[in-house]
């Protein structure tokens, strides 16, 4: 007997949730690592999102199988399509996380990051909150609660964006009075990845709202 459409979809949702939780873990560890450029914590963060590509490929294959077996329509099709897009956004968020770790650890011990961390830690805090709330949304069915949580993610994403602009100004000021401009530029690129993770979170949150109420998908 073939498994039901709901069983398949529940399995896909659980796997998506697991990837989201791994992303939360990685970024929480980054938050802990930032203050002292803790290499062990950064490595732990990196390891918590290992093999994500194979996991997202597994989900994509499961989604394709669902489409082939059940040919869902209307709301069911909307949900399957949204899950496909969500998997891609989470994969990109994990890639951004790895890029941030790599870029930041390359230069954080060579530069005075005390002033930068004043804003970077706040930005990473908002990033973590945005991801945490988004992952919780995956298993929320109430439309009103989902909308409220979406607004929370949006607030944290806006905070991360504003804080990145502050960091950018600080780094440019420091770079102008230094002979290590390339290193400051590398750190700026790394911190940009952190801000992008929050942007991925709002994209996922938007898709989760789309599953419930329809409308246009905004990425």
What are the residue ranges spanned by the domains of the chain?
5-213
pLDDT of 2 reads 53
CA-wise closest residue to 37 among 109, 112, 102, 101: 109
Mean pLDDT computed over 17-37: 94
- Distance CA(170)–CA(164), nearest Å, equals 10
Q: Assign 9 a pLDDT band (cuts: 50, 70, 90).
A: very high
Within 13 A of 83's CA, how many CA atoms are on the CB side? 30
Query: Burial, 161: exposed, middle or buried (Cβ in 10 Å; 0-12, 13-18, 19+)?
Result: middle
Tell me the pTM: 0.91
98 exposure class (CB count in 10 Å sphere: 0-12, 13-18, 19+)? middle
Tens digits of residue pLDDT in 65-115: 999 989 888 889 999 999 999 999 999 999 999 999 998 888 887 776 676
Most confident range (mean pLDDT) of 13-17, 105-109, 172-176, 190-194 is: 13-17
Q: How far apart are CA 116 and CA 86, in angstroms?
A: 32
Residue 1 is predicted with a pLDDT of 37
CATH topology of domain 5-213: Methane Monooxygenase Hydroxylase; Chain G, domain 1 (1.20.58)
pLDDT at position 213 is 82
pLDDT band at 216 (very low <50, low <70, confident <90, very high): low
Residue 215 has what pLDDT?
Answer: 61
| Segment 4-27 mean pLDDT | 96
Residue 105: predicted pLDDT: 87
Note the pLDDT tens digit of each residue in 172-181: 877 776 666 7
What's the chain's average pLDDT?
A: 90
């Amino acid at each position: 007997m073939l498994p039901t459409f709901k069983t398949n979809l529940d399995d896909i949702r659980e796997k998506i949730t697991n990837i989201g939780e791994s992303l939360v873990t990685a970024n929480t560890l980054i938050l802990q690592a930032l203050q002292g450029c803790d290499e062990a914590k950064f490595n732990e963060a990196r390891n918590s999102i290992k093999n994500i590509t194979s996991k997202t490929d597994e989900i994509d294959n499961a989604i394709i199988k669902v489409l082939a077996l059940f040919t869902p329509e209307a709301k069911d099709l909307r949900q399957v399509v949204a899950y496909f897009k969500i998997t891609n956004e989470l994969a990109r968020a994990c890639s951004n996380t790895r890029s941030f770790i790599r870029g930041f650890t390359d230069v954080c011990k060579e530069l005075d990051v005390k002033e930068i961390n004043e804003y970077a830690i706040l930005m990473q805090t908002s990033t973590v909150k945005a991801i945490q709330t988004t992952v919780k949304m995956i298993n929320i069915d109430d439309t009103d609660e989902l909308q409220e949580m979406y607004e929370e993610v949006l607030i944290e994403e806006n905070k991360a964006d504003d804080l990145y602009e502050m960091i950018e100004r600080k780094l440019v000021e420091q770079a102008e009075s230094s002979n290590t401009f390339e290193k400051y530029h590398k750190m700026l690129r790394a911190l940009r990845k952190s801000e992008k993770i929050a942007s991925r979170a709002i994209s996922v949150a938007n898709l989760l709202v789309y599953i419930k109420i329809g409308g246009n998908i905004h990425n």
